[in-house]
Structure 1
């Protein structure tokens, strides 16, 4: 087993504004998607989006969840990945019609848009950004979003072979007010560093990204750079669904809708798209739903 499986590692280029993250998702990827029957192209795309979600979460100072979504009016309706601040990740896809293993993500998209949601815990203000899809890869879409919406220079490399997913992110942090007053020579040095490490990183291959241990990969790419590598964080598949959260969702349908479903079907059945857990509510359960209070208010969160 590679020593970097299911890990996220941050690193910085010393005395520069450039930072980076590396992630490998192996069992995390398999546990998240093996219960879902996905065409190869969508499985690969979700793997790349899962890796991207961990890379971006590692750049945030937030206790909560980051949700990445690609929505489309084509055969693909939705790709969605959620990563919490402990690097618990879940993912799923929705599509219509016949999608075969030879079709890529971009064969299935029409009039697509990319959405990123930051959902803090403890009642913090949620943030949502929506932009048109720009780019011919998930990496390009994310880079364009970060530059346009966050004004942060970002380079992302993603790979998925159907059994594991991996990614690398580089960012040039924006200048502070103090840095703006620094001499032009120092500013030019920062730009030169950013351009140089970006060029070096662009030589990475999918095989290296997926299979090389973190320290070996960094040495291969940036042998002459002064890099500080931080302690690894661990990733895992995690689904936040529960019978309680499903019950609260059903309560929001209202008594008329709940009674109609019970009369027609005899029970209410809900399946979690992320983990495939099946929830059943019989007539007695439905009565309890109607008399109990909703324990958590509705929100923009993915249930």
Structure 2
């Protein structure tokens, strides 16, 4: 089972999160029929959203939007306080040549643009922060956002390994955040350990756990593991919600569907679940629209 671990330095100098998200990313890859570069980009973003959302509570929701001008188009991901994440990429079936190092060209596929992170904490208005994409490889962009927009010096590492059959064989991530009282010795140790850290996807493929990864990064430092929680792909869409969506688009559109198609098929962007509304369903929806306009 995929899960996320949250820890903190015993001296309060930093907090650290690590997650294994292999099955979660594979579920998204399968649902959207992503080709490798899209699977890697979407998987990194989903993992990042889970790491950033590890401190959410109750009904809090975090949404990550990567709006690049590359062939992938937009990447939209949403995570909640229960470790559930969902997401999609606008163009899941694109192919680009590998980089000279033999890696998936995520940066080229994302392109230039902006990263937006919205935290809906149940207040009157959600908070949204935005930064320009710098590396377009997602991990560095997330660290840049946290450091500049939220004033929390952070290191982020994300990895997705895709097999030759397009399936995801390993995925995970690490988030390290310095707290105000971190001293130079702690910073130096963390920097040295991070510099020696192998690719996360390789570690996870080889069987290392989130706890193992945290131990690698915090070697020589005292930490306390606070909790370990499962994470998964989960969409909150339902037939009722999509019926309300049809009501929202209005009488003219629903009448057109009824006359021209005799029904409607509505797909959820986040999970690709398909909902079929037959003729009698649309007639009932038209009645509800009429009742609301009285």
- What CA deviation, in whole Å up to 9, does each residue of 1:67-104 have, x standing for no partner? 111112332221111111101111211129x7215362
Q: For structure 1, which runs of at least 5 residues remain unmatched after alignment? A: 176-186, 295-303
1:106-185 aligned at under 5 Å gives the runs 106-120=107-121, 124-162=124-162, 163=168, 164-173=170-179, 175=180
Q: CA deviation at 1:197?
A: 1.2
Residue 200 of structure 1: CA displacement? 1.1
1:178 equivalent in structure 2: none
C-alpha contact 1:119 1:126 (8 A) present in aligned 2: yes
Q: What is the rounded CA distance, in whole Å, between the counterparts of 2:36 and 2:96 in structure 1? A: 5
The 2-side partners of 1:52 and 1:116 are apart by 11
SS in 2 for 1:34: helix
Contact 2:2 2:22 in 1 (8 A): yes
- Taking the aligned partners of 1:147 and 1:222, their CA distance within structure 2 comes to 20
Structure 2 CA distance for partners of 1:111 and 1:213, relative to 1, 3 Å:
closer
Q: TM-score, normalised by structure 1?
A: 0.83
Structure 2 SS opposite 1:156: strand
Write the distance in 2 (CA, Å) between the matches of 1:108 and 1:208: 25
Distance 1:113 1:221, change over 3 A: closer
SS of residue matched to 2:7: strand
Q: Among 31, 35, 43, which residue is 1:35 paired with?
A: 31
Alpha-carbon shift at residue 55 of structure 1 (Å): 0.7
SS at match of 2:141: helix
Displacement after TM superposition at 1:293 (Å) = 6.6
What secondary structure does 2:249 align onto?
Answer: coil
Q: Could you state the TM-score of these two structures normalised by the residue count of structure 2?
A: 0.85
Counterpart contact for 2:10–2:224, Cα < 8 Å: yes
Q: Offset at 1:282? A: 2.2
Q: Are 2:106 and 2:136, in contact at CA under 8 Å, matched by a contact in 1?
A: no
RMSD over aligned Cα, in angstroms?
2.3
Instruction: Say if 2:5 and 2:228, in contact at 8 Å, map to a contact too.
Output: yes
Secondary structure of the structure 2 residue equivalent to 1:95: coil
Q: 1:192–1:290: structure 2 CA closer, same or farther, 3 Å change rule?
A: farther
How far apart, CA to CA, are the structure 2 residues paired with 1:282 and 1:220? 56
Point out where structure 2 has 5 or more consecutive residues left out of the alignment.
99-104, 163-167
